[in-house]
Amino acid sequence: MKKLVLLRHGESVWNKENRFTGWVDVELSSKGLEEANEAGRTLRNEGFGFDVAYTSLLKRAIKTLWLVLEKMDYMWIPVHQTWHLNERHYGVLQGLNKVETVEKHGEKQVHIWRRSYNICPPALGSNHPDFPMSDPRYKALDVQQIPSTECLKDVVTRFLPYWKSTIAPTIARGERTLIAAHGNSIRALIMYLDKVSEDKIADLNIPTGIPLVYELEDDLRPIRHYYLGDPEAVERATQSVANQTTMKRSPSPTS
């Protein structure tokens, strides 16, 4: 039996403010820093160890991974960073508050943009300051590879080839593997591993900072999966993600 651990990054400052984040490179919040540290402590206390780790090119996932490996005393293992594990690009929604977007466009439309498998939000213009083309971390990509918006299907399309060519063979060789990524890149992998339908994947929510363990056959078919942590706390965190379009915006420090 082989094990794979998936970890969505800790809460970011835009998670806290209930904003669509996507490819915008925001910091972890103070809560997110503690979630990452707690994930590392939990994995250490549960006896986990790793031979290799994968993460995205976004610092909220990178920092989460650093903190986890530091808590586990595994900072020496190889870490591979790739844009294939980036969060889904939310187009013009990036930076917008989710509740305010519902108030402007309606719950049905925002749900389609947020959770539809194959419908993208409106695209970000190439002259927008957040358009990734000018970001040096993506300079090796062809212009056709750089998104201006994405749906989950697009994340599956860019992530699965990397999984099959790079990560899956690593696990198959018996290397203990940790992936620290984002809600949608993790959802894309779960959809593939568990054969979740396009309709059902809309109901899958990934909480921040809680390790998700997959036990796999030698051919990498899932045997079972489970979160590490108190089940009630996991349920509350998962439901919090599901409720983001109905949550009130966090008050500003001056309000």
Other CB atoms within 10 Å distance of the CB of residue 232: 8
**Domain count for the chain:** 1
pLDDT at 46: 96
Please report which helix (H) or strand (E) contains residue 190, including its range.
helix 183-193
Phi, psi angle pair for 23, to nearest 5°: -90, 0
pLDDT at 12: 97
Catalytic residue among 11, 35, 38, 87: 87
Tracing tokens 């594990």 back to the chain, one arrives at 85
At 231, the amino acid letter reads P
Residue 94 CA neighbour count, 13 Å, CB half: 25
pLDDT at 128: 86
- Report pTM: 0.92
Q: Decide if 60 is inside a domain.
A: yes
**Which tokens go with 161?**
């080839």
pLDDT at 115: 87
> For this structure, is 128 an active site residue?
no
pLDDT along the chain (255 residues), means of 10: 97 96 97 98 97 98 98 98 98 95 94 92 88 90 93 97 98 97 97 95 93 97 94 86 64 37
Cβ neighbors of 68 (< 8 A, separation 6 or more) are: 7, 36, 37, 39, 40, 43, 178, 180
At 82, the amino acid letter reads T
Give the length of the chain. 255
pLDDT at 249: 46
Q: Decide if 93 is inside a domain.
A: yes
pLDDT at 22: 96
Alpha-carbon gap, residue 121 to 110, rounded angstroms: 9
> For this structure, is 107 an active site residue?
no
Q: Decide if 253 is inside a domain.
A: no
Find how far residue 214's CA is from the centre of its chain: 16
Q: Decide if 102 is inside a domain.
A: yes
pLDDT at 125: 87
Report H helices in 30-74: 30-45, 59-72
Q: Are strands 222-227 and 52-55 parallel, antiparallel or unpaired?
A: unpaired
Q: Decide if 249 is inside a domain.
A: no
Q: Decide if 248 is inside a domain.
A: no
pLDDT at 237: 86
**Which tokens go with 23?**
């490819």
Residue 198 CA neighbour count, 13 Å, CB half: 10
Q: Decide if 247 is inside a domain.
A: no
* Angle separating helix axes 59-72 and 30-45, nearest 10 degrees: 40
Domain at 75, CATH number: 3.40.50.1240
pLDDT at 247: 54
Quick one: which of 100, 87, 107, 91 has its CA closest to 187?
A: 87
Instruction: Give the range of the structural domain holding residue 199, as residue numbers without chain letter.
Output: 2-242
Alpha-carbon gap, residue 201 to 117, rounded angstroms: 8
Task: Compute CA distances 207 → 105, 107, 108, whole Å.
Answer: 26, 22, 23
Q: Decide if 68 is inside a domain.
A: yes
